[in-house]
Amino acid sequence: MEIILKTDIAGLGYKNDVVAVKAGYGRNYLIPQGFAVMATPSNRKVLAENIKQAAHKVEKIRQDAFDLAVSIGEMALTIAAKAGDSGKIFGRVTSLQISEMLKEKGFDVDRKKISFDSEVKTTGDYTATLDLHKDVKHKIAFSVVGE
């Protein structure tokens, strides 16, 4: 079953993408929740017209995301967490903490657009991926230190 996504869905696609999904997933979840519509010929024509009219706006959004990635650059963050003697931290570092650290530095990145390459459960150096746009992904280094 082919559908047209109305919003970005992690692991599936981005807004206005035509993707193939299993029929039950599309009919029972994506379409009733308003995340997608059926990819009928008429909906495809509407999609093509919307993309054509929004091309300039999309380019501006992509350029803003690229500029944000350039301004963040090779910035390194330091996150303090309570840790035991072995270096294992209590709890874990979350995307919310990274988002707040970036906000303190003057960059507004939604926590839902931050993912980790590996789980952060010990002190050390890690990298996180910022999904700023479907064409713009930026890696940021951060280190976790014990308090």
Half-sphere exposure in the Cβ direction for 133 (13 Å, CA): 14
pLDDT at position 120 is: 86
pLDDT at position 55 is: 82
- Collapsing DSSP to helix, strand or coil, 4 comes out as strand
pLDDT at position 2 is: 95
Report the candidate in 115, 138, 128 with the shortest Cα–Cα distance to residue 67: 138
pLDDT at position 76 is: 86
Digitized pLDDT (tens) for each residue of the chain, 147 residues in all: 999 999 999 889 999 999 999 999 999 999 999 999 999 999 999 999 988 888 888 888 889 989 988 988 888 889 888 888 888 888 888 899 999 999 998 888 888 889 988 888 888 899 999 998 888 899 999 999 888
Helices marked H in the chain: 23-25, 41-72, 95-104
